[in-house]
Amino acid sequence: GAGVSQTPSNKVTEKGKYVELRCDPISGHTALYWYRQSLGQGPEFLIYFQGTGAADDSGLPNDRFFAVRPEGSVSTLKIQRTERGDSAVYLCASSLSEQETQYFGPGTRLLVL
């Protein structure tokens, strides 16, 4: 079946702009996760959803970052007033339920100029 999909695959924006990154999980997966991967590093946790609610948002770096999952399926990660330091690959993963194996999407490569 279809895996996790993320759009756009690449996003270039200017410092100070607002961006939205979208994640479409595997059908039937109730848990959804966002990670951020900087060059040469492992992914770092940002937030995860169980259903529609954010179960843990402790990884969000500051209040410029926000994520929603209004219908318990697609999720959007929103970044306000982007900074050059936000440049990274943003990865989304989903799992059948909490503590189950996470399957990752291809990521969105964000470049803030």
Out of 15, 16, 18, 55, which residue is the one contacting other proteins (CB under 8 A)? 55
Q: Using CB under 8 A, which residues numbered 5 to 44 contact other proteins?
A: 31, 33, 35, 40-44
Quick one: how far is CA 85 from the chain centroid? 16
24 within 8 A of 6, measured Cβ to Cβ: yes
Q: 25-44 in b/e burial notation, b at 16+ Cβ within 10 A?
A: bbeebbbbbbbbeeeeeebe
Smallest separation, CB 7 to other proteins (Å): 14
Smallest separation, CB 99 to other proteins (Å): 6
Stretch that binds other proteins, among 12-20, 60-68, 76-84, 93-101 (CB under 8 A): 93-101
Q: Map 66-94 to HEC letters.
A: EEECCCCCCEEEEECCCCHHHCEEEEEEE
Q: Which residues bind other proteins (CB under 8 A)?
A: 31, 33, 35, 40-45, 48, 55-56, 59, 89, 91, 93, 95, 98-99, 101-107, 109
